[in-house]
Amino acid sequence: MARMKSCFSGDMDAWAHAHAARGSAAMSFEPADAVQAVQLARLTQTDSMLVVALFMCCQLPARQILLGGGQAGRLAAEDAAACVDGRMRLLNDGIAATYRVFNAGRSPLCADAKHCVRFPRAVLASRIDVDRACDGALMPVLDGWDELVDGALVDGKLCKACGLHYKRKGLQERRAFWRRLPRYMGVQASVWVSFDWEGDDDK
């Protein structure tokens, strides 16, 4: 149980690290293990674990959510329904969050108006492109927008000040996203863990 909890932690930092490494130091997991984590969380009435495990299940193919497969077993109908609803909320808010980050204007300290006006427009255009809108939109909390911003900085498409500006906004969105995670998953978590972000610079 302790091993499972370390992988499906309500602590954003611990969880993000575990996810990035495909498992915590105590245990490695495949995405389909999330199905078993949901069952375990139900059994032990561990709400925070249930939230994260359902969130993980949302990343599985729909077929696996609904029909199960392999050793992972199958979600209860109620949990599969929570994932279907959850995916819709995650996707919707993932796209909306990208708008909130990149539609807020440039940094007041912007040093390159020409490029820095273009870049956020291009990002937003990709969100309404029918073939690309869903790329990564499900999981802003996992990936954020840092990679996108770093690429733009390297390519000279953003000035440094705007790079920081968007990263800060992205971090705020990721925190808010994590706070809302129980609501997305339809779980009334009595305890939902706050977090101590590394590199938190907007205090």
Stretch that binds Zn ion, among 6-14, 121-129, 157-165, 186-194 (CB under 5 A): 157-165
Start-to-end Cα distance in the chain: 35
Q: Does residue 159 interact with Zn ion by CB under 5 A?
A: yes
Nearer to Zn ion, 37 or 101 (CB): 101
What is the full DSSP assignment across 101-122?
HHTS---TT-S-HHHHHHHHHH
Which run of H or of E encompasses 28? strand 27-28
The residue within the footprint of Zn ion, chosen from 12, 65, 162, 171 (CB under 5 A), is: 162
Nearer to Zn ion, 32 or 171 (CB): 171
Footprint (CB under 5 A) of Zn ion, residues 79-118: 106, 110, 112, 116
Angstrom distance (rounded) from CA 1 to CA 123:
42
Minimum CB separation from Zn ion for residue 155, in Å?
14
Cα distances (angstroms) measured from residue 197 to each of 75, 90, 107? 32, 21, 22
Nearer to Zn ion, 138 or 162 (CB): 162
Q: Does residue 149 interact with Zn ion by CB under 5 A?
A: no
